[in-house]
Amino acid sequence: MTLRAVSRMGELPMTAARALISALLLLCVAAGSQAALSAVAKPAAESLKRDFESCRAHANVDACYDAIRWNPSDPALLVALGDALERAKRPSDAIRAYRRAASLAPNMPGVAAKISAAAAKLSRKPASGGHSAHEGTAGKRYSNAAPESQSH
């Protein structure tokens, strides 16, 4: 046997040992990050629950958005957001939240009625000028110009 062959035989166990140590280190890091992940997940779950309750009970729109950030595919949470937006007199945003909930859970009871009620409120909303067409000014035109039939 040559000296090179002997030195290579000594390298194989060293490489295997390095691989084994690397694997053990990776396992330790993974186990540590699982513990860190659960330490982060527990407060997040508590925060989600607190935001969900604040959203439903107090119609806190910001709490609803915070809760949806944690769980964006929860139709009950989207309906609660829609309800909070309705109470905040934002029917167009409420319709958007209700429609998203309906797309996630098509058989959820009451969502279609909430959409139509919000749409009815949106259609009853006065024009942007602040005056309704039914306040007695319909058909009247106010101008400083003299009628065309008069001559000056």
118-133 pLDDT, tens digit each: 999 888 866 555 554 5
In this prediction, residue 3 carries a pLDDT of 46
42-51 pLDDT, tens digit each: 666 777 778 7
Q: Is 8 exposed, middle or buried (0-12, 13-18, 19+ CB in 10 A)?
A: exposed
Distance CA 75, CA 101 (A): 4
Q: Model-level pTM?
A: 0.54
Domain ranges of the chain: 31-122
In CATH, what is the architecture of 31-122? Alpha Horseshoe (1.25)
Mean pLDDT score across all residues of the chain: 73
Task: Tell me the C-alpha to C-alpha distance, in Å, between residue 78 and each of 41, 71, 85, 141.
Answer: 22, 10, 10, 46
Collect the ranges in the chain with pLDDT lower than 50: 3, 6-7, 36-37, 40, 132
